[in-house]
Chain A
């Protein structure tokens, strides 16, 4: 019993880490630019396709990951610079729709360029699972956990120790105040959007071996990532990480004992959380329209 729970938790953590990676991007973008980005999942999907073809060209895996992060950063940066910046004054819902349009573009591009036939994406590491005490984990799960941990740490260092990170946090608190201080808010927006698209790209590569690579494979993951972000309060990166990990673990345990609730569980959870904190934890009522 205890061993089962331990194993479920361990495996849930590696799922949760994936949710956390994307949820972090969602929260970062939401907090600094007030955009609820629904394009992240499909951007991640598109980057995973690019990674697939790089791998097919025999590019080594570590380099593929770095290139994928760069691709994501590039997409994110371009999106901010040439799209989101021009529509900053639109209503929140209008901005949300723009990201939906972006999601459609990524989906259509992937389907046109790469086709819709499901592809098998290899895990980073294969081989027999590893026994750690009573816990049995696949090598891929271990890599996912280690990489995520490294990224979480890196991101914290950036957000708390570098000017650009502290600047991003200041924008989240008071954008006008940041502008008055002469903080280069536009560069920081580009940086945040770059991060926000690079993270789901990596998440896509890490998670895709569990499914198969096709244009819709990130949709359920994105829904979970939103759940994780809301779960964590939508307003802090720590919250997003904890929310994602908790969601991954809970989901894994619930799915083991009540398979019928596998998918719905987290969805119902998010609605309940939203009802208790109707506008998140910082309650601003928006009067803007589209």
Chain B
């Protein structure tokens, strides 16, 4: 994707999304779904960076979201830290944890990495369940909303614009990263690790960078999630959610910058469209979408859009 297309898509999305809440003035719950889309899109972008661009699989991504959420919530609730500052610390801490998980990744490849991250992810949620400061199995309740200066992000509308801003910023940063020298190194590692090594790319360094950044992004989305939903429970962030993250990344399109947004929209909105009676059918549909993406559309939903765009241009 060229820079101009990125910008134009970004502008179109912005133009479409800025007035979106006004269509649902009477239904903040719908705006709430959009907020979930954006939060998950941010989290998925982290995984996209790791898997889509650096080629490292993780089955414990939700754990980083949990770490970000819990750290920020605890800092605000138990230590009275300013929530903006708490989110920054939480993001950094998630990055640190990512670094720790990154080290085993240097020695593990493919599905061994999948198993290791799965184990570490599950161990994290288990630890959260056993600690008292995290509320253990009862979860953390009534987490205070985000506060910047004296403005409380309490209504779904205010959160919407904040999250939208955050998402565009993160997407821009990721976009810039992957177009830089480091981004090319990451993709080289994904495509052919041995070759990358032989041309002098510091594979270990870049893998660690990918892990740290990806977990920071997940941590950020977790912290935003905590202050937005105001309730955290370790079971939310188990293996199931990690798998769903992977699914969002795959269905949206691995290694495409807008894929995470598409995947997250699909994941959050599909059950609402199908309706509460058949809500769980959306999981089936999602599973099928994952399989079809791997089989036929390596770039997932992004590929469909790309192909449509190509067709339109041909006309």
**A and B, direct touch (CB closer than 8 Å):** yes
Q: Tell me which residues across on chain B come within 8 A of A105, comparing CB atoms.
A: 283-284, 287-288, 291
Interchain CB contact under 8 A, A109 and B116: no
Taking CB atoms and an 8 Å cut-off, the chain B residues in 265-279 that contact chain A are 278
Q: B254 contacts A101, CB within 8 Å?
A: no
Task: Check A108–B283 contact: CB distance below 8 A.
Answer: yes
Q: Is the CB of B283 within 8 A of A107?
A: yes
Question: A171 on the interface (CB 8 Å rule)?
Answer: no
Give CA–CA (A275, B289) in the complex, Å.
34
CB closest residue in chain A, given B51: A93
Residue of A93, A274, A289 near B116 (CB, 8 A) is A274
Residues of A within 8 A of B238 (CB): 219
Are A96 and B295 closer than 8 Å at their CB atoms? no
Number of chain B interface residues as a range: 35 or more
Contact sample, A vs B, 6 pairs, CB 8 Å cutoff: A36-B115, A96-B110, A98-B291, A101-B286, A112-B283, A270-B116
Q: Residue A264 at the B interface, CB < 8 A? A: yes
Interface string of B187-208 (1 = CB under 8 A from A): 0001111100000000000000
B247 / chain A contacts, CB cutoff of 8 Å: 100-101, 104
Instruction: Determine if A87 and B107 form an interchain contact, defined as CB atoms under 8 angstroms apart.
Output: no
Chain A residues near B250 (CB-CB < 8 A) = 97
A113 → chain B, closest Cβ, in Å?
9
Instruction: Report yes or no: B190 in contact with A278, Cβ–Cβ below 8 A.
Output: no
Partner of B254, one of A87, A278, A290: A290
Q: CB within 8 A of B280: which of A96, A97, A111, A271?
A: A111
In whole angstroms, how far apart are the Cα atoms of A264 and B238 in the complex?
Answer: 13
* Given A271-B119, A271-B120, residue A92 in contact with residue B294 (CB < 8 A): no
Given A278-B112, A286-B110, 19 extra CB contacts under 8 A: A36-B111, A87-B294, A87-B295, A98-B294, A101-B287, A101-B290, A104-B283, A105-B284, A105-B291, A108-B281, A108-B285, A112-B278, A116-B280, A216-B240, A223-B122, A274-B115, A279-B112, A287-B194, A289-B55
* Residues 235-246 of chain B, each 1 if its beta carbon lies under 8 Å from chain A, else 0: 000111001101
A86 at the interface (CB under 8 A from B): yes
- Whether a CB of chain A sits under 8 angstroms from the CB of B138 is no
Query: Using a CB-CB cutoff of 8 Å, which residues 72-116 of chain B contact chain A?
Result: 104, 107-112, 114-116
